[in-house]
Chain A
Amino acid sequence: MNSFLSPRLVIVLLLCAGLWLINLSLGSVHIPLNDLLRRLGGIPFPKSSWEIIVVDYRLPKSLTAMLAGIGLSLSGLQMQTFFRNPLAGPYVLGISAGAGLGVALLTMAGTAFGWHLLGSAGGYWSVVLAASAGAISVLVLMGLAAWKVKDSMTLLIVGLMFGSAASSLITLLAYFSAAEELKLFTIWSMGNLGNTGWKELVLLSGAVFLGLVPAIFSVKAYNAMLLGEAYAVSMGINFQRLRWVMIVSTGILTGSITAFCGPIAFIGIAVPHLARLLFRTQNHALLFPAAASLGVVILLACDTISQLPGMASTLPLNAITTAFGAPLIIWLIMKRSFSEEF
């Protein structure tokens, strides 16, 4: 269990760095890697417009991708271990559906209720606020449920039901909304890493940090949970505390990331599996850094593809994460005896 600095982790971390540079370099305007490296060494870009492109757009976007990759992967990993369910992911507790409902109320309830919030100043910030409010409401509801219900399977089902309830409200709102509003919401729900400027990034990184700290301090407890609740308790793990850690940590992580980037699909469920399969381990002391770095790699790669190098337009992020991620996971599952190894 002491293989923290495994060679595979070093490779993945190098891949992170490489993809980060490629992500900065590619886009509608190509910035050569040489110039990027020189800029890192203090030599200014030959074109001043590049400085604006990199510093104001691509850098915050790539950092957002990293934060989202880390946060979603670790949320999914915690959920899968806690619920001992390979299909659990960051969205099973309904947090992101809550965020979606918040955004849907903001963008689509205008016609129904006569709101015109989007017309006022700070459109993006009001989306973030609405999503946060939705995520926090569901998190509070989940907390109340967790306080009442002690069984983790029941908790999982309650979470799924919260998610379904929120989704049905979204459907209702969508049905009565105007075409323009519907499109706004649909685009939000496709995920977007590019909306975060430096100010938003400060907030997002603060939230991600806040969500990660309790998880990192529970590495040992998650290892004990591999054998199930009863064994974990017999090894001195405070199960109730771990439950709150799981709810609060994944709630903050997915809530904040969904608020700033929309509901990014696939990463949270798939990356933990990828980490287990590639690192051949169940030890969370290694799985945490492994899943985090793989999350960064995959989200950076997907973002690089979605910004369509050399073209002026972009593709929706979720289309890419799913289109490239799903076959990858299917391949991995077919290759190894997956169900036996989870």
Chain B
Amino acid sequence: MNLPTTNTAENPAFVRARDLELGYRTGKLAQRVAYPVSFDLYRQELTCLMGPNGVGKSTLLKAIMHQHPPLQGEVWLGDTPTGRLAEKERAKKIAVVLTEKTPTGMMTVRDLVALGRIPHTGWWGQLSPQDQAKIAEVMEWTSISHLAAKRVSALSDGQRQTALIARALAQDSPILILDEPTAHLDLSNRFEIMYLLRDLARKASKAILVVTHDLEVALETADKLWLMNANQPLLTGSPEDLMINGGIQRLVPGDKWQVDAVSGKIVRSTIPLACAIEGPEALVCWVKNALRKNPELQLPASIQITASPFEIKATFAKSYCLFQSISEMLRFLQNPPATENPFLK
């Protein structure tokens, strides 16, 4: 993609690796988890790492964090390999939000965020005015200033996740790594958090890498997707490109499922419905959705849908039935009364 407007000269990859071999070493035995893994993570971009469970996403994160160095190869932060940085220096480069349960305790939100300053403070952890200013700033960025004095135990899941992100921001690192930050969150919070991360990538010029299983939200918010599959190189690109060139289908290996090319949703591979359905498009699509979910149903010959009043007319070989809702129709199709449908005997 040699677009003339590309600004890679001003925005070089901040984290990069070539042909990493990820895995575990127990004694002299090395067990490979993923190979080859190559990537570039850019500042000002929100990148989502996706892939099935057990494919080595967490191992990749740990390799970048250098908590679990790769078996082969090196991860470079700017122009230094991670392994050559002292722990404290690395902590100033990479901040994380992890999946593990954080103790709530009687810590206030402000205390939690202040923990992010640990790599910057002296041995006693005394906060300087600059530290205080940074803490106030990141709480403002994440709009949790009003929660500052609240106990962490009193927060909702979404607020707690935001507070943990604020803690990572307080670490003032160019790289932010988040492991499933939207798991367990409700729909709107999932979008809120991801849009917040997207804004932060721009505003604070951070390279943000998020592991997520949430395709819908990732398509909506990510600048780049990294798709990870067993024994294949990492597939990277903008979500839109991956949708168009079909690369996104790697998320759902096998024939059973596929990513719908228009909606970006994961659907059952379309079995053509042996039933003609007519009516307004928005209604037809949901009736089809309901019928596809229940492939065991005996389908009528044709279905006509009218919008207002909403009505479904299912025509069988000899008779027809009217329904006021989709669930009513499904109920009927599940247990067709013998008297009304003599042909089903």
Contact = CB atoms under 8 A, between A and B. Distances in A.
B107 A235 contact: no
Given A1-B111, A1-B127, A231 B96 contact: yes
Interface string B171-201: 1000000000000000000000000000000
A2 interface: yes
Interface string B96-120: 1010111111110001001110110
A220 B118 CA distance: 7
Interface stretch (A37-45, A198-206, A277-285, A306-314): A277-285
Residue among B104, B106, B126, B153 with most chain A CB within 10 A: B106
B106 A282 contact: yes
Interface residues of A, number: 29
Given A1-B125, A235-B115, A237-B87, A227 B104 contact: no
Interface in B315-343: none
Nearest to B100: A228
Contact of A233 (B67, B125, B151): B67
B138 to A, nearest CB: 15
Which 8 residue pairs of A and B lie closest in terms of their CB atoms, listed nearest first? Answer: A236-B91, A236-B88, A220-B125, A236-B119, A235-B118, A234-B96, A236-B87, A341-B106
Nearest to B126: A2
B72 to A, nearest CB: 22
A63 interface: no
B98 A235 contact: no
Contacts of A276: 105-106
Contacts of B153: 337, 340-341
A167 interface: no
A224 interface: yes
Contacts of B91: 234-236
Interface string A227-257: 1101101111110000000000000000000
Interface in A279-294: 280-283, 285
Given A231-B98, A237-B87, A341-B153, 18 more contacts: A1-B114, A220-B118, A224-B115, A228-B100, A228-B101, A235-B115, A235-B118, A235-B171, A236-B90, A236-B91, A236-B118, A236-B119, A238-B87, A281-B107, A282-B105, A283-B125, A341-B104, A341-B106
Residue among A217, A220, A235 with most chain B CB within 10 A: A235
8 contacts: A1-B114, A220-B123, A223-B125, A228-B100, A231-B102, A233-B87, A234-B91, A342-B105
A22 interface: no
Contacts of B106: 276, 280-282, 341
A280 B111 CA distance: 12
B94 interface: yes
Contacts of A2: 126-127
Contacts of A235: 91, 115-116, 118-119, 171
B104 A223 contact: no
Contacts of B111: 1, 281-283
A84 B102 CA distance: 10
Given A236-B87, A236-B118, A236-B119, A230 B127 contact: no
A201 B222 CA distance: 65
Contacts of B114: 1
Contacts of B166: none
Residue among A2, A226, A236, A281 with most chain B CB within 10 A: A236
Contacts of A340: 104, 153
A283 to B, nearest CB: 6
Contact of A84 (B90, B103, B125): B103
Given A236-B92, A236-B119, A230 B103 contact: no
Given A84-B103, A230-B100, A223 B127 contact: no
A81 to B, nearest CB: 10
A214 to B, nearest CB: 12
A162 to B, nearest CB: 25
A15 interface: no
Contact of A220 (B87, B105, B121, B151): B121
Contacts of B67: 230, 233-234
B154 to A, nearest CB: 9
A54 interface: no
Given A235-B116, A280-B106, A342-B103, A220 B124 contact: yes
Contact of B107 (A224, A237, A282, A285): A282
Contacts of B118: 220, 223-224, 235-237
Given A1-B111, A234-B67, A235-B115, A285 B105 contact: no
Contacts of A337: 153
Nearest to B106: A341
B109 to A, nearest CB: 13
Interface in B66-106: 67, 86-92, 94-96, 98, 100-106
A227 B115 contact: yes
A219 interface: yes
A223 B107 CA distance: 11
Interface string A1-42: 110000000000000000000000000000000000000000
Interface in B262-298: none
B248 interface: no
B65 interface: yes
Nearest to A279: B106
Contacts of A224: 115, 118
A285 B125 contact: yes
Nearest to A232: B118
Nearest to B66: A233
